Amino acid sequence: MVVSIVRILKFLEWSGVHARTLLPLGVIVAFLMPESGSFFKPVAPYILALLISVAMVRLDIVAVLKDAVQPRRLFWNICLAFVLLVVTPYCLHSIATVADLKESLRTLIAWYAVSPPIGTTIWMCVFLGFSAPIAMEIVLLTNLLAPFTGPFMGELLLGAAVPISVMTLSLRLGAILFGGIFLAVLAKWWLGNETINTYRGRFDGMATLLMLAFLVPVFDGVSAMVFASPLLALGLAGLATALNFGHQASIFLGGRLFAALRRQSSLPDGTRSVAVVSGNRNLGLYFAALPADPLFSLFVAAYQIPIYLTPMVAGWFGDRAERADRKHHRGNSAGR
C-alpha cells in the first residue's frame, strides 16, 4: 500500500515535469479515441472545477485580493475586466455582424469573447518570465465576475440562440468556478502554503492529468466530424487561432502605441501578461455548462491549438520586445 502511494506521488511529479510533452500527445490520443456518444460530457464540469482548484491553490488568494483591491490597482483591474468581459464581446460580435458572418460563427465568437481567461495563463506567464501578479489578479477577478457577466452578455448578443435560460447558465458557471475556488481555499487551509510550495511539482502533475482528462469529453466524437467535414474543421481551427493570437497581438500593438505616445521604448509594465491572459479564454466552461452541440464541440477542440502554441508565440513577441528594450538601454548608455 505504502509502495503504491509512493509510486503515485512520483508519477504525479513526473507528469508535472513532462507536461509540455504529455499535453500535445494527449490531444493526439484524445483525437483518435472512438466516439462514446457524449458518455463523458457529464463529468466535464467536475473535471473543470478540480482543474480550477489545482490552478488556484498555487495562488495566495488572500494576498492577491488584498493587492487587487488597492484603490489604484482596483480601478485598473476593474477596467481590464470590463474590457475583457463586456467591451470585447460587444465589439467582436459587432465586427462579425458587419462582416455578415453566419449566425453559427457569430455564436461561436460570442461564447469565446464572454469566457473569462483560463487559469493556466498564470503558469504561462511564470514560464515565459512575464509579470505574474497582474495575471493572477485579472484571472481571479474575471473568474469571479464571469458567472454574472457571461450569461447576460450571451443573451444580449445572441438572444434566442442561447439554448438555456440566463439563470440556469449563471448557476452552472457559478457552481464550476466558485466550486473550484472553494476547493482551492479548503486545500490551502488544510495543507498550508509551506506544504503546497514544497510539493508544487505534484500539483503540477495533478493539473497535467486533469487537463488530459478534460480532453476526453472535449474530443469525444471530434475525429468523426473532422473526417466528415475537413474544410469546416480547418476553418474553425483558423477562427480559433485568429481570435486567440489576434487578441494577444492587439495588446502588444496597443502597448507599443501607448509607449510611443509617451516617448518610451519599453512596453508598459504588465503588457505581456495582459496579452497572454486576454487571448486565452476558458471556453471549456461553456462546453461544460451548455447542452451538447457538435459545432461548438468542434470549435472548443480546435481552440486547444492556439492555447498550446501560446508559450511559443507569446515568448517570441516577448523576446523581441526585450531585445528592443536592451538595445535602447545600451544606446542610451553609449550616448551618456
| Alpha carbons 86 and 160: distance in angstroms, whole number | 19
Grid cell 477577478 is found at 141
Q: Nearest CA to 135 among 19, 12, 254, 279? A: 279
Q: Nearest CA to 56 among 149, 11, 128, 118? A: 118
pLDDT, tens digit (0-9, with 9 covering 90-100), for 281-316: 999 999 999 988 889 999 999 998 888 777 677 666
pLDDT, tens digit (0-9, with 9 covering 90-100), for 191-209: 887 888 787 778 888 888 8
- Domains defined along the chain, listed by start: 22-331 (1.20.1530.20)
CA dihedral 29, 44, 160, 301 (to 10 degrees): -20
How many angstroms from the chain centroid is the CA of residue 220? 21
SS3 track for 18-81:
CHHHHHHHHHHHHHHCCCCCCCCHHHHHHHHHHHHHHHHHCCCHHHHHHHHCCHHHHHHHHHHH
| Alpha carbons 139 and 277: distance in angstroms, whole number | 7
Three-state DSSP at 101 gives coil
pLDDT, tens digit (0-9, with 9 covering 90-100), for 134-180: 777 888 889 889 999 999 999 999 988 889 999 999 999 999 999 98
Taking every pair of Cα atoms in the chain, the longest distance, rounded to a whole number of angstroms, is 70
Beta bridge partners of 117: 281
pLDDT, tens digit (0-9, with 9 covering 90-100), for 246-279: 988 888 888 778 777 777 666 666 777 788 888 8
Residue of higher predicted confidence among 77 and 319: 77
Best-predicted range by mean pLDDT (44-53, 219-228, 231-240): 231-240
> pTM for the complete prediction?
0.83
Per-residue model confidence (pLDDT) at position 336: 47
pLDDT-derived band at 39, boundaries 50, 70, 90: confident
Helical residues (DSSP H) of the chain, grouped into ranges: 2-17, 19-32, 44-57, 61-68, 71-82, 88-98, 103-114, 121-128, 132-158, 166-191, 193-198, 200-218, 222-228, 230-261, 271-279, 284-289, 294-302, 304-335
Per-residue model confidence (pLDDT) at position 132: 65
